[in-house]
Structure 1
Amino acid sequence: MPHASVNGINLYYEISGKQEGPTLLLSNSLASNLHMWDPQMEAFNRHFRVVRYDSRGHGQSDAPAGAYSIDTLTADAVGLLDHLGIARTHFCGLSKGGMVGQRLATLHPERVDRLVLCDTASYMGPGDLWEGRIQLAETQGMAGVVDATIERWFTRPFREKDPLAVAKIRAMILNTPVAGFVGCCRAIQGMDQRESIKAITAPTLIVVGADDPSTTPEKAREIQECIAGAHLTILPAAAHLSNIEQEALFDAAVLAFLEAK
């Protein structure tokens, strides 16, 4: 299995699609893994060389104990690009992955062609919110946070309509190492990019589910106001994992943006 030794850990990744096409790097949310992007693979593989990876603390990547930071997670992404010899890439990240994308485009503008930020935020306070989730995970394991997470991530109609898709994500949450979940919660808890993202120059698309209770459309608008020329697409009848709940609309919006002349 392909692992890259980067930034002090082993990072799992997969490459698919058009090997001679432009590169698209996908970054997963908290408590998921690279398979959260499975619904996009058929469409994205036709147009791009797609690189997916399991974030530090998730999936088949290492999950060291201790608090992580958004800068650490960003350094992981840069290390993976360096390992693969990729000088410049499109980037698409959801939730935590979008937080990494913001930092990547801020600190390493030469590495980012076009930027897609999905169901994410530049600041996720207050800190007490994260203390509660961390304590639940540390005392009850991921079973202690899974039900509330599923309720935030999918609307009730979708949960009833597609229980198989929901079950797949539930399994990802339950299989996330507690150390990795807690480490990334600490990274989000300590993040504040509201001022720094004003330096982003990459063409940017922001995508958010209209019914996302976590990273709301209001938070998406806050990012849009900070990044010059950023576009905002709000997907109807979708909560936090809008790429799954509104797969076709999500794919169409991202592809139209990435392929625009």
Structure 2
Amino acid sequence: MTARLTTTWYGVDSAPMDAPVLVLGNSIGTNQGMWAPLIPTFAQRFRVLAVETRGHGGSEVLPGPYSIADLGGDFLAVFDELGLATVRYAGLSIGGMIGMWLASHAPDRVEKLALVCTSAHLPPASGWISRAQTVRAEGTGAIAELAVGRWFTEGFRERSPDQVKAAIAMLEATSDEGYAGCCEAIAGMDLRPDLHRITADTLVIAGADDPATPPSHSEAIVESVPGAHLQIVPDASHLATLEQPDTIATLIMGALA
């Protein structure tokens, strides 16, 4: 069963009429706001479609557990509903996992791909199951301190407290069931056997200081995706789009435009 996802268009008035569609997938515990600093740049060249993952932002919440295939199927349903035969796709964290699933299971739908601070396999599963249990029992606010410590470097937390507060607000606004269900999707995920099937031009971006999906995870993706390229961004943790927006925007534009 697919979930109804919230979608928002940007760049329809500023980009050329025949501009390609760039789909943006958010990380676990956020919404399309995590792309906000980059969208004005993207909208110069693309018709930008920000899609909020099941259980996040304004998207429908279905009872968990979910699988990455469930989440990818939601995105394909959006593409079909909007008549998008092919797209260019950028996703961070679980958004990147969805991108890998789409590009390997529906390769004719994804022309170019940017994977940011993500992983094809992120054990141990027990940690994700435990986090899902915590969130169902106590709410997403219970893991805010854990999340912020992994999302941002210490320096960014000190110099940009307002942005950190805004990120926490995104987390706390996320459905408890939606977050938990996505934790369970990551717990059961192993995309490694499918990566060789990706035919899209692929850029993989890692934050040099990301403890959630360290650069070694990006290196493993690049080794398995034919022709993929790797960029490691200094002074960036997991939510690199908020910590280093100009650098990430430049890299994605260069790869996907």
- TM-score over 0.5 (shorter chain): yes
Query: C-alpha distance in 1, partners of 2:187/2:103?
Result: 20
Instruction: State which of 188, 192, 195 in structure 1 corresponds to 2:186.
Output: 188
Match in the other structure for 1:4: none
Separation of aligned partners in 2, 1:250 and 1:11 = 25
Alignment of 1:68-217 (within 5 A): 68-217=66-215
Amino acid at match of 1:219: H
Alignment equivalent of 2:23, drawn from 22, 25, 31 = 25
Counterpart pick for 2:5 among 11, 20, 37? 11
Partner-residue secondary structure (3-state), 1:35: helix
What is the TM-score with the length of structure 1 in the denominator? 0.95
> Gapped runs of 5+ residues in structure 1?
1-6
Percent identical across equivalent pairs? 39
Distance 1:85 1:166 in 2: 37
C-alpha displacement of 1:9: 2.6
Task: Return the offset for 1:65.
Answer: 1.3
Equivalent residues of 2:2, 2:70 under 8 A apart: no
Structure 2 letter corresponding to 1:47: R
RMSD of equivalent CA atoms: 1.0
SS at structure 2 position matched to 1:214: coil
- Counterparts of 2:236 and 2:185 in 1: how far apart (Å)? 26
Give the number of equivalent residue pairs: 253
Q: How far off is 1:131 after superposition?
A: 2.1
Q: Deviations over 1:18-73 (max 9, x none)?
A: 25311000000101111111011110011100000111011101111121110010
From 236, 247, 251, the equivalent of 1:238 is 236
Whole-angstrom CA distance in 2 between matches of 1:252 and 1:10:
31
TM-score (norm. length: structure 2): 0.96
8 Å Cα contact 2:4/2:74 also seen in 1? no
SS of 1:11 mapped into structure 2: coil
1:37-56 aligned within 5 A: 37-56=35-54
List 4+ stretches of structure 1 deviating above 4 A.
none
